[in-house]
Chains A and B, each alone.
Chain A
């Protein structure tokens, strides 16, 4: 009788025998960047960008759309408009159009689950993409209307690389949509690891770097659209990284051009 009274009915009692969970391996042993300055980059050369797959016109309801895949970085971009913008409080009449960029992560896109709407990072990244695209969009060609760019991240590996991928996907989608642009915007990120520039760093590589920077530019005009930098970097280091980024941007521009020309040829052949 006394044993029954001591028994707590609300608690699920565990089995008599239990063992601690077994992990794959300890994280520090698996991480090659646990040492402060790794000498060699795994899998690719320091000046290489992860191979890119880019395709236009996947979403028929959108004015323009692209899908970008760069090994473990996948995102979809859709461009809608020009269309009337919902009236925002305090927004008066403007004879220039507006560009809105909204980047959203799928809940499963990162190693940690991202809760929809509660994620604070996507707003800041949207602004970075918008800052890169705004100098290129000819907003005077659609007065009072707005173009909406929606980016949906399916998988991400490195936030700086993600912004650059998003800029490439968005500018290709804008050109696909027939929105007037001064030129295509492409971006490339770089990390300073062990006294060398590593282009297009993954999340793990960026974590081990002393500093990370990103650069977006319009290779057709030879102008820079936006630059950002985090970490501790000297002026000469930034200069060297920016030069390497611009060289990579030229290559990315060739890729976007190839994709757009192919889609345009297909469309002109059909009509």
Chain B
């Protein structure tokens, strides 16, 4: 008999041991822990089941996402979420996220101008604040490592961050305003 579990199958637990907490891919029905996925179980203090092929990820509260700015307004920037927690979404399926102006940074929130923080086409790393409204997820970039990670200048070159508020075009040397993410490993 294989160790692969099926949806609805009870988890193989040692007898007379305390019941582990139901983790991802499991659920508790009555007094038995059952798998809700087709996959292999891992049992310690919490039990979980991992599928061989995971479905497209869904943004949860607190997940780190990468998205591309699609629309700017004076109060908010809209982006298409492309990557959730390091897992990329299928090309046609994307979630809509919104960074409201008060969620761009944690200081001087009243002075924020969206146009000086993001531009269309920028790739932004952000954290999911909440599941938002019926249409979009609410995102935040109010942390050092969150913000614009990739942007092209007006001349069309990939810009380099020089401070947390500015990026420089390597071709023309022109400075543009962005809410930059702190590069990793610095």
Contact = CB atoms under 8 A, between A and B. Distances in A.
Interface of A: 61, 63-64, 80-84, 87, 91-95, 97, 136, 138, 141-145, 175-184, 218, 220-221, 257, 260-261, 264-265, 267-268, 271
B4 A261 contact: yes
| In the A-B complex, the 3 residue pairs with the closest CB atoms | A183-B8, A220-B8, A83-B93
A177 B55 contact: yes
A178 B131 contact: no
A264 B35 CA distance: 15
Nearest to A183: B8
A264 B4 contact: yes
B56 to A, nearest CB: 6
B7 to A, nearest CB: 4
Contact of A175 (B6, B90, B93, B134): B6
Given A93-B133, A143-B58, A220-B9, A182 B53 contact: no
B56 A81 contact: yes
A218 B6 contact: no
Contacts of B93: 80-81, 83-84
Interface stretch (B36-44, B119-127, B174-182): B36-44
14 contacts: A64-B55, A92-B134, A136-B7, A138-B36, A180-B25, A180-B27, A181-B37, A182-B8, A182-B34, A183-B7, A220-B34, A261-B4, A265-B2, A268-B4
B6 A221 contact: no
A265 B36 CA distance: 17
Provide the main secondary structure of the chain B interface. loop
A184 B96 contact: no
Contact of B6 (A97, A145, A184): A184
B58 A145 contact: yes
A136 B7 CA distance: 10
A141 B95 CA distance: 16
A87 B56 contact: no
Contacts of B6: 175, 184, 220, 257, 260-261
A264 B9 CA distance: 15
Kindly state the interface size class of chain B when it binds its partner: 35 or more
B54 to A, nearest CB: 5
Contacts of B55: 63-64, 81-82, 177-179
Nearest to B81: A84
B127 to A, nearest CB: 17
Contacts of A145: 58, 95
A146 B134 CA distance: 12
B134 A91 contact: yes
B111 interface: no
Given A87-B135, A264-B39, A184 B94 contact: no
A179 to B, nearest CB: 6
B58 A182 contact: no
A55 to B, nearest CB: 15
Contacts of A183: 7-8, 34
Interface in B119-177: 131-135, 137
Contacts of A84: 93-96
A183 to B, nearest CB: 3
A92 to B, nearest CB: 5
Interface in B47-91: 51-56, 58, 60, 89-90
A26 to B, nearest CB: 51
Given A138-B36, A145-B58, A218 B8 contact: yes
B8 A181 contact: yes
Given A87-B135, A180-B36, A268-B40, A221 B58 contact: no
Contacts of B34: 182-183, 220-221
Given A83-B90, A178-B39, 18 more contacts: A81-B56, A82-B55, A84-B95, A143-B58, A144-B134, A145-B95, A175-B37, A179-B55, A180-B37, A182-B27, A182-B29, A184-B7, A220-B6, A260-B6, A265-B2, A265-B4, A268-B52, A271-B52
